[in-house]
Amino acid sequence: MFFNEKIETMNREKLDSIVEDRILYTVRYANENSPFYRMWFRKNRINPKEIRTHTDLLNLPIVNGKTIRKNQPPISQDFQFKSIDWSEVFTIHETSGTSGSPKTFFLTWNDWERYAEKYARAFVSQGFGKGDRVVICASYGMNVGANTMTQAARKVGMTIIPEGKCTFPARVIVNYKPTGLVGSVFKFLKLARELSKENFVPSELGVRRLVVGGESFAEESRSYLAEVWGCDVFNTYGSTEGTMCGECTQKNGLHAPEDLVHLDVYNPSLNDFVKDGEPGRIILSTLLPVGGQSGTVLLNYDTEDSSMVLSRDRCACGRTHMKINYPQREKETFWIRGTPFNRVDVENGVFQRENMEYLTGEYKVFLYGDLLGGVSTLNVNLECLDLKNCNISIVKENFLKGFFKFKPQLQKEHSENNLVFQINFLKQDELEIYKFKCSSKRLVDKRQP
Ligand SMILES: [Zn+2]
């Protein structure tokens, strides 16, 4: 099943030629409509007419979130990235400003249509179709995800229940019998616990698919969620900047809609592409169909997420668009003595199947020590289903096994006492995460430079 079969199954040669047409047009559009890029081409002595192919993009500098902040009020007088007249702007969004002021994005109706198409393709590739009823637990508001998914549902023919938050009464599930839920790993687990308290069995409520949006997760979390809800669990990656990639039924990577967004994977110095199959930083460029327009065009934008290209061959699902590995956020990646680890590695440890007999899955981790290479301490706080009956030694052992699974170097540091674990066990709902918003940071670096 496809949403747009012709495009989604197009052969590589044709697809690449569409991409090149759109790179050429988008660069021209940026030069004509984006004050930032017009200045930027001039400043860097680049003739936009000479940027025609994917490789030509290497000649353009990389921009990032800081560049956007510097080119909008209060630092700049106007919004230099806004690439359309005010009268054509349909919505204005701000990305949550974890590091100071938020970034502003302008979307036209054209942008909305393309964002919705990307999500529609993802939904259909996961088996959703007409007649499905889907609860969106992701928040509406300034975040584009929930809104554009709702727009996608209209294209696919699905019914949306726009809860917009992680807590809602059991009657929503019982009365409307949704076939799918969109949210996060933790929201789904919490919902399942609440339903169980009211004597419902989550796996018997008719939910057939869960879509985890906007965060990467460990395979362990996926298999546990699938068990609790008795259904398929899919990953979808998206951002206000326009990266919407969905996992198909093969569940081995995310298809990037190559005709609508251009993703390159760069080396850590951000001066060259890496080969397919090698990890690197995802650099995004907007792709506009010839004649299309956009409120905020981005060329060579550093997403601060890392991933790798897994394949550009036809997938078993029939799609030809490239598959990328599940992106991990740089912000959630920390280094101990030259070895990186990510929040997902912590989740590998928490969600070991046997641990889930004792834990809720909620956790909070603090990293202490000094950045100069002394002893690092991972303070791991785990929430128990029933603290009195928690088998602490088993959970500790499983946690370490899972955490070290992809990190043998950290296991070595641990055995040499350079990395110490303090694993604490808390009562249900004791973690401070609940006192703040649902997506509070779970991994906090407290090290002093
Ligand atoms: Zn596929």
Alpha-carbon distance 186 to 351, whole Å?
11
Strand arrangement of the beta sheet that strand 254-255 belongs to: 159-161, 133-136, 180-183, 209-213, 232-238, 244-247, 254-255, 323-324, 309-311
CA of 316 to the centre of ligand 1 (A): 6
How are beta strands 333-336 and 309-311 bridged, if at all? unpaired
CA of 319 to the centre of ligand 1 (A): 5
CA of 301 to the centre of ligand 1 (A): 26
CA of 290 to the centre of ligand 1 (A): 27
CA of 361 to the centre of ligand 1 (A): 29
CA of 149 to the centre of ligand 1 (A): 20
CA of 60 to the centre of ligand 1 (A): 31
pLDDT at 168: 86
Closest CA to 83 of 117, 131, 141, 38: 38
pLDDT at 109: 97
Alpha-helical regions (H) of 157-236: 170-176, 185-197, 219-229
pLDDT at 331: 86
**Sequence letter at residue 402:** G
CA of 124 to the centre of ligand 1 (A): 11
What would the pLDDT profile of 47-73 be if each residue is shown by its tens digit?
Answer: 999 998 889 999 888 999 999 999 999
CA of 253 to the centre of ligand 1 (A): 8
Global confidence as pTM: 0.92
CA of 133 to the centre of ligand 1 (A): 23
CA of 314 to the centre of ligand 1 (A): 8
CA of 317 to the centre of ligand 1 (A): 4
Taking 50 as the pLDDT cut, the residues of the chain under it are 437-439
Give, in degrees to the nearest 5, the angle at Cα 374 between 368 and 377: 30
Instruction: Let me know: does 202 contact 230? Beta carbons within 8 Å.
Output: yes
CA of 8 to the centre of ligand 1 (A): 10
Give the count of alpha carbons within 13 A of 310, CB side only. Answer: 17
pLDDT at 438: 44
Instruction: Let me know: does 284 contact 258? Beta carbons within 8 Å.
Output: no
Closest CA to 182 of 117, 220, 128: 128
pLDDT at 434: 52
Closest CA to 217 of 329, 368, 81: 329
CA of 217 to the centre of ligand 1 (A): 19
CA of 415 to the centre of ligand 1 (A): 41
Average pLDDT across the chain, whole number: 93
CA of 318 to the centre of ligand 1 (A): 6
CA of 426 to the centre of ligand 1 (A): 41
CA of 55 to the centre of ligand 1 (A): 26
